[in-house]
A and B are shown apart, each in its own frame.
Chain A
Amino acid sequence: MSITVETVARIASLARVRMSEAELARMAPELSGILDWVEQLEEVDTSSVEPMAAVIPNHLRLREDVVDADPLTGGGQRDAVLANAPMAEHGFFAVPKVIE
């Protein structure tokens, strides 16, 4: 299966990665090559198996339902959370205006 430049442009848009025409043209044959190669998986008869998401048996746990069970993630960390923000104002993350 051949991936067209238009398809790469659509995926790049879904993935929110801006790409130039030259980059799209370079990426299209690379992605085609990789996807052609992974398509050999079609040969495998998987009619009797369930898709595997977890490889080692484990059970899901619930933490105790108390405030600040883990102080690091429990809240009251505004300044630490904002410390690495490219732009923070008035105790919030700042982004370009999204409403006209």
Chain B
Amino acid sequence: MMADLTDLGVKAIRDGVASGDFTAREVAEAFNAAVAGAAALNSFIVTTPDRALQAAEAVDADRSAGKPLGRLAGVPIGMKDLFCTDGVQTTAASHILEGFIPRYESTVSRKLWEAGCGMLGKLNLDQFAMGSSNETSYFGNVTSPWRKADGANTGMSPGGSSGGSSAAVAARIAPAATGTDTGGSIRQPAAFTGICGIKPTYGRCSRWGVVAFASSLDQAGPMARSVEDCALMLEAMAGFDPKDATSLDLPVPDWSAALDADLRGKKVGIPREYRMDGTDAEILEQWERGKQWLRDAGAEIVDISLPHTKYALPAYYIIAPAEASSNLARYDGVRYGLRDLPERGGLQDMYAQTRAAGFGDEVKRRVLIGTYVLSAGFYDAYYTQAQKVRALVARDFEQAWTQCDVILAPTTPTASFPLGSLSDDPLTMYLNDVFAVPASLAGLPAMSVPSGLNGEGLPLGLQLIGRPLGEQGVLNAALAIEQRAKFAARPDRWW
């Protein structure tokens, strides 16, 4: 048996189980133990060691019987607690859904179990996926496994909203995890923790059974420690689902088999508007290194313009809260979750009291903004205008694709920050996603790949944005960076 199975990624585990180097059960036990020993990170809301063992035993039994194995057989993963899991509490990190035990399985999680994955547990996140630091969860902050090199032991943010996912994968307590990305919620936490994460084209992964935040933007994707592991996970997660009206009825490409870091003949666009005031100098330096790496891989670097970039974030903060205020209207204390009925209260009192008790501050803030921008007299000035700006952001990208095949940009304007340092200032927090949101508004595939550490010893990420359905181009350019950045740093265990 190998020294430490928890150092292995998705592909190494799958191949090792298939070839008999170790059993799926040994892998599940190793990760279950790692999860149990990492409570200080608070990355899981509930752990499900029995589920992980059960799935592993089924894989081992199939292998003994000579049956064909799934494409991810024996790989235990973390499931973001935004995916409904049959028989396992699903909360979206909210009080209002505390105790909710779905009687059905989300399509994405079902596909992963069918591919042979096992579930280590349900991962913490920002409440209803609203946040960029994992500080809005009802079940407490997630702490990043990374710390600054200054020895002060300050608790750092793992990013958000998929902060439990990023912390778990970076800490090697899960080889991979699911995430969801509405305006950067896969890419920003991946960048903050030195791992990879890809948001595919809108419609690639079914939204069925995923707790809804902003339905025209929400998209699931994988988080793992290598580009290839992300490709393998995405192949299992993606695919047509008649139960989601926005699901794309297209075959799922064999992205992992077609991975190719030779970028000769490819053009990489550098959007000049992403060079913003306030962007950290070390981030800009990494961006320059990224250009060199892609040039070294054979690509031609071209300057491009995405003129409406500065308006993408404000448009997002109208569209996403508007959709959220509508989606979250379902939490009424009647059908599932919390009910808080004041004494002698009527139905309306029950609605208002349940939602007051069940939603956190950031969720209330966004529900109120959404309600305001959709209210009579304001709808056109805010919501319609934002949807028009969204069209212009998408048009910018369409024009860029006449000049380049993939776009290289920073993932975030800064590295991770100490927990608590921005939580009093919603606007500054929102600016974390300034580089991530444009691709979300345009529905484009986008990925973060680690590029190095900053002077404080914290990871930084580079973002690749592709054409619609251009996941392969994104993965290939990310692979070219991964091979040259040779990012091997890992957090020292303190938990």
Contacts and interface: CB of A to CB of B under 8 A. Distances in A.
Nearest to B318: A38
B384 A51 contact: yes
B493 interface: no
Contacts of A60: 245
B371 A15 contact: yes
Contacts of B245: 60-61
Interface string A1-41: 00100011001111111110000000100110111011111
Given A51-B388, A56-B248, A84-B101, A11 B318 contact: no
Given A14-B375, A16-B351, A41 B386 contact: yes
A66 interface: no
A17 B357 CA distance: 9
Interface residues of B, number: 73
B367 A50 contact: no
A31 B242 CA distance: 39
Interface in A74-99: 80-81, 83-87, 93, 95-98
Given A38-B382, A52-B387, 5 more contacts: A38-B317, A51-B391, A86-B337, A86-B339, A93-B334
A55 B443 contact: yes
Interface residues of A, number: 54
Interface string B303-317: 000001011001101
A12 B134 CA distance: 25
B346 A34 contact: no
Contacts of B314: 37-41
A52 B315 CA distance: 12
B371 A11 contact: yes
A44 B388 CA distance: 9
B201 A41 contact: no
Contacts of B351: 16
Given A14-B375, A50-B391, A53-B216, A58 B243 contact: no
B391 A49 contact: yes
B105 to A, nearest CB: 10
Contacts of B430: 34
B275 interface: no
Contact of B427 (A16, A37, A58, A84): A37
A15 B368 contact: yes
A70 interface: yes
B355 A17 contact: yes
26 contacts: A11-B371, A12-B368, A14-B371, A15-B371, A16-B348, A18-B356, A19-B356, A27-B365, A31-B365, A34-B426, A35-B372, A37-B317, A39-B314, A40-B310, A41-B314, A41-B389, A42-B381, A49-B395, A50-B388, A52-B387, A52-B390, A55-B390, A80-B103, A83-B101, A86-B333, A87-B339
A84 B336 contact: yes
Nearest to B310: A40
Nearest to A8: B368
Contact of B338 (A72, A86, A96, A98): A86
Contact of A17 (B350, B352, B387): B352
Nearest to B440: A55
A67 interface: no
Given A83-B103, A85-B334, A34 B369 contact: yes
B351 to A, nearest CB: 4
A13 B375 CA distance: 12
A-B pairs with the 6 shortest C-beta distances? Answer: A55-B443, A51-B387, A86-B339, A46-B388, A84-B336, A52-B391
A31 B427 contact: no
B203 interface: yes
Contacts of B426: 30, 33-34
B325 interface: yes
B394 interface: yes
